[in-house]
Amino acid sequence: MTFKVKDFGTKDYIEIYNLMRNFTLSRNSSTKDEIWLVEHPSVYTLGFSKKTEHIIDVGDIPIVSTDRGGQVTYHGPGQLVIYLLIDLSRRPYKIKKLVSLIETSVIQYLKDSGMNAERKQGAPGVYIKDCKIASLGLRVKKNCTYHGLSLNVDMDLTPFDGINACGMKGISPTQLIDFKKNITLNKAKGELLSYILEYLDKNPITLSDVA
């Protein structure tokens, strides 16, 4: 396995954001690539374009400006977030191919779970019919990626009403629990991780291997 996988449980977004920026800036040629699994308390995050017109009514949920790609999105309890800290110089793919592989891994996981998941032209992420179930946003520094993807598992989707998620008007969210009964965040974590590793590394692992 060429990835080190870490499960952070529930952590504030800013704490993880600072950790992954510091990891990326301080890593060298011998630093192992890592995948981080985390669940965040409620927070909105803005991509580096900082287009605030997509913020409608966020109430008392905090907004954090970040340097990832994409527009505004929401993270909260019941959502699986996976951060991908990858040195592209070691990989047989560059950033566009990496994004495609990540989307494909999510789509295949959902299809194998009985859902008709798909991409949408010009709208990164994964959709079921016209509803978004997974979002994706990365940043590359020193040819190394950070940030990652989020999958709505079993959560309160109401906070998505306060934004044009990912800068797209009229896109409604959906979640895994609506299609896959009895799914839990922990179960989805292990299942999706195995698909991501299959596509990115060809060396599936289980949660028992996760630090």
- Give the active site residue among 19, 165, 166, 185: 166
Helix, strand, coil % over all residues of the chain, rounded to 5? 30, 30, 35
Tell me the C-alpha distance between 52 and 31, whole Å. Answer: 36
Active site (annotated) includes residue 166: yes
The candidate with the shortest Cα–Cα distance to 160, out of 59, 65, 80, 83, is 59
Q: Could you give the residue numbers annotated as active site? A: 166
